[in-house]
Amino acid sequence: MTHDKIAVVDFGGQYAHLIATKVRRLHVLAEIRQPDDPIEAFAGYKGIILSGSPSLSSFGEDSGYTKAIYDLDLPILGFCFGHQEIAKHYGGQVAHGGREWGYADLHLTREHPLFAGLSMIEPVWMSHYDSVTAVGPDFEELGYSTLGGRTEVQHRYAAIGSDALRRYGFQFHPEVDDTLHGAEMIGNFVLGICGCRPSWTIEQFLAEEMDKVRAQVGDQSVFLLASGGVDSTVAAVLLGQALGPERLRLLHIDNGMMRKDESRAVIALLQSVGLGERLEFVDASQDFLDALAGLTEPEAKRRAIGDTFVAVFEREARRLGISQDLLAQGTIYPDTIETGGTRRSDTIKTHHNRVPVIEAMIAAGRVVEPLAELYKVEVRELGERLGLPHAAVWRHPFPGPGLGVRLLCWAGEADRSGFDAIEPALADLAAAEGLELLALPIRSVGVKSDLRAYEHPVMISGQAGWDDLLRVAGTVYKSVPGINRCIWNLAPDAPGTARPVTAHMTRERLDLLREADAQVMAGLTRHGIDGEIWQCPTVLVPLELDGRGRELIILRPINSARGMTATPYRLPDALLDELRSSLLALPGVSGLALDLTTKPPGTIEWE
């Protein structure tokens, strides 16, 4: 069957494939195109969407692309960077500055087909530095933005359009779930303005993906590293059905960074879905601890974990006599885009399945990744279509490196870079809000305007309601340079000092984190909210607070659908009281906090 198609031009932003996914959920086929693809590559599409870009400026290198697309008689809609490019191309102006991250209100200037069925004020999600300050003669302002709940204009030209040219732009990101009716906006463009027929389905994707797997694998066999998580389990079942179980071998590696009793649960799960006979198990925890010994820098840790996975895989493959088999992975799209998986994307963090050794194997055609274009929600839908148990499909995501990216390490002195500017700004905000704000002399990974931001967290202490805490956190990381996270102090007293201590990846620290994580997960189940939360990492940070203990425990409960954006989840007060009592009593613990940070500017994991 021939499907109507939309081209999504990927300028390297985090959200290009998320745009494609949102289009596909309308049952319209979306395909990713590169900015410098020849104009002939755009033949056969019904419309074009331009994604965001990691470029800090719309006047940078990303401004060089196939601009002949503007000569095509097709509707074009741009998001963020794409919005700015459309404005510039047709005589508008773009200025560097006016950054926005997070929620804003879009105020429509009039009714328009792009916003059919929506209110005149819509909550939207911003993540940008540059701003459109004027539009060309054929364009009009369709909407401006204000900060949530305020009336003063934050940005003009948050939405622009020319019905005569069929060119439109949104400064915000309608593709993320945080833009409440973004899917309707995309649908109004794809189904309405472009006139696409909704004929593409996930069932057809599954059939096509199985054909791709068979074509790639040929008469070879496949060896899958099965973590037991949603992605690897769905990948295993898909491969087994596509190739036949006799051509699939599974290896579960205990890397020493699993959750409490996790390996036992993984083996039981794989046995329950009929893959137990193809499963091998190896305890390689010492291999990973040896590889991580003395490492503190997050990227170095991720590379060491990834390289060790491959080393263990190759060793076990030789032992099992399957060295020539292809390596299969349950890689999903966020794993690749956050590693800089497209030509123009910025490396937010390197995933263990995108280290150089794996990349070399991919280039050699030795890696099979049937889920690499999907997001978690699509993987889960696929898993249900493949017949997996509901509990296996909807369990919380768990990173491939496991607790290795939740156990922060440190060596050397406190990192107070930028504090000369940060501390006075925080003091002013603290006085205005009646709270205590303490910048922490460590750094964590974040993402701002599609760029990696390796910056300081801030601890908020004091009495405030949940909504006020979120508002203050948003004000801090939006207005104070060098900050990408805010955490809420759950301990009884506000700390006056924070000092990082030397700490490495050890079995003892991992056991402490395992116990803390087990208590948190049991608490979520006990209160019946584990199914409401997308993910709840427990993080251990080597911080001594007011001379007490050596480890700060941080809870990271979040709402999300695809992992590309996230908002903090409010845990019940009763559960917080229980966790204060049990976690603060663990040996060596200096404090307890809850991460209030949205994504962006903070990634879900701390490393």
CA distance 33 to 65: 11
CA distance 202 to 531: 24
Q: Is 80 a catalytic residue?
A: yes
How would you list the strands of the sheet with 222-225, edge to edge?
279-283, 248-254, 222-225, 326-328, 367-368
Identify the bridge partners of residue 283 per DSSP, sorted by sequence position: 254
Q: Which of 85, 100, 122, 175 is catalytic?
A: 175
Q: Which of 17, 27, 80, 209 is catalytic?
A: 80
Identify the bridge partners of residue 451 per DSSP, sorted by sequence position: 448
Residues in the chain: 607
φ and ψ at 449, to 5 degrees?
Answer: 50, 45
Residue 208 CB neighbours (<10 A): 10
Q: How far from 326 is each of 220, 229, 240, 329, 574, CA to CA, in Å?
A: 7, 20, 14, 10, 49
At position 117, the amino acid (one-letter code) is G
How would you list the strands of the sheet with 140-146, edge to edge?
29-33, 5-9, 47-50, 76-79, 167-170, 155-162, 140-146, 93-108, 121-134
Q: Is 173 a catalytic residue?
A: yes
Q: How far from 575 is each of 60, 541, 580, CA to CA, in Å?
A: 49, 22, 9
Beta strands in 353-469 (DSSP E): 367-368, 436-439, 444-448, 451-461
3-class DSSP state for residue 586?
coil
Q: Which of 12, 379, 34, 21 is CA-nearest to residue 190?
A: 21
DSSP 203-228: HHHHHHHHHHHHHHHTT--EEEE--S
Q: Which of 27, 173, 181, 252 is catalytic?
A: 173
Residue 388 exposed, middle or buried by CB count within 10 Å (0-12, 13-18, 19+): buried
Task: Give the orientation angle of helix 285-292 with respect to helix 298-320, to 10 degrees.
Answer: 150
Q: Quickly tell me which residue has 């007490």 as its tokens.
A: 548
Q: Which of 521, 515, 577 is CA-nearest to residue 540?
A: 515
Q: Is 196 a catalytic residue?
A: no
Which is it for the CA torsion 590, 514, 393, 18, positive or negative?
positive
Pairing of strands 436-439, 451-461: antiparallel
Q: Which of 245, 313, 246, 242 is CA-nearest to residue 273?
A: 245
Q: Which of 528, 526, 515 is CA-nearest to residue 582?
A: 515
CA distance 193 to 185: 11
Question: Would you please indicate which residues are annotated as catalytic (active-site) residues?
Answer: 80, 173, 175
